[in-house]
C-alpha cells in the first residue's frame, strides 16, 4: 500500500457531479485515502453557518455528521440519500476517510481555493457538456478549473439526454 492520497470531489448534487463521485469511487479511491466532498454555495445564500465560515469555508465535517439532516439545513445543502449511500460505501468497503467542506462564492474560484487550501492530490468534477456558444456565454466551471488548478483534474462528462 502506497501513501494515502487526498481527493477532492466537486459536488452540486447535479447528475454530472454524482457521476463524478461514482467514477471516483469505482476508479480512483483506495484504502486509506481521504475523500473531501467540496460544495460551493452561492454567495447570496444566507444560512446559519455562512456568517461563521464565509471567508475560508466550513471546517472539515466528518461523514457521520454530514449524514445528518440538520447538517444540510445549517449549510443550506441538499440532503441526498444517493450521495450519502455512495460515500458510506466508499468509507466502509474501501476504508477511505470521508469528510465534507462548504465554501461560499463562485464555484470556479472556490474549487481552485479548495485545491490549495486542502492540498489535494487530485480533483474530480462533473461537466454538463455545454456547447461552444453556451460555454462562451455562461462560462464553464470544468474548463476554468482544469486550466487553473495546481493538481490533476479529472472531468467526468454527463450522459446525453
Q: Provide the residue ranges of all domains of the chain, joining segments of one domain with +.
A: 6-157
- pLDDT number for residue 160: 53
Please tell me the distance from the alpha carbon of residue 118 to that of residue 106, in angstroms, as a whole number.
18
- Res 141: pLDDT: 85
Confidence at residue 138, expressed as pLDDT on a 0 to 100 scale:
39
- Could you give the 3-state DSSP secondary structure of residue 37? strand
pLDDT value of residue 136: 44
Mean pLDDT per 10-residue interval, the chain, length 161 residues = 86 92 95 94 66 76 86 79 94 94 91 95 84 49 90 83 49
Residue 72 has a pLDDT of 77
User: Which pLDDT value is given to residue 50?
Assistant: 59
C-alpha cell at 44: 447570496
- Identify the pLDDT of residue 79: 84
Instruction: Identify the pLDDT of residue 24.
Output: 96
Residue linked to cell 472556490: 110
How many CB atoms neighbour CB 133 within 10 A?
8
CATH number among 3.40.50.2030, 3.30.450.20, 1.20.1260.10, 3.40.50.620, domain 6-157? 3.40.50.620
Amino acid at each position: 500500500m502506497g501513501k494515502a492520497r487526498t481527493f477532492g470531489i466537486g459536488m452540486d448534487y447535479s447528475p454530472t457531479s454524482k457521476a463524478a463521485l461514482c467514477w471516483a469511487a469505482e476508479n480512483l479511491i483506495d484504502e486509506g485515502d481521504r475523500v473531501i466532498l467540496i460544495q460551493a454555495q452561492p454567495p447570496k445564500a444566507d444560512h446559519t453557518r455562512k456568517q461563521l465560515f464565509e471567508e475560508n469555508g466550513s471546517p472539515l465535517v466528518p461523514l457521520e455528521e454530514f449524514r445528518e439532516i440538520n447538517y444540510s439545513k445549517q449549510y443550506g445543502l441538499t440532503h441526498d440519500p444517493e450521495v450519502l449511500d455512495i460515500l458510506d460505501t466508499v468509507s466502509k468497503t474501501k476504508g477511505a476517510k470521508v469528510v465534507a467542506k462548504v465554501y461560499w462564492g463562485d464555484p470556479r474560484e472556490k474549487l481552485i481555493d479548495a485545491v490549495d487550501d486542502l492540498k489535494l492530490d487530485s480533483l474530480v468534477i462533473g461537466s454538463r457538456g455545454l456547447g461552444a456558444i453556451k460555454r462562451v456565454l455562461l462560462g464553464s466551471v470544468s474548463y476554468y478549473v482544469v486550466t487553473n488548478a495546481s493538481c490533476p483534474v479529472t472531468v467526468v462528462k454527463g450522459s446525453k439526454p
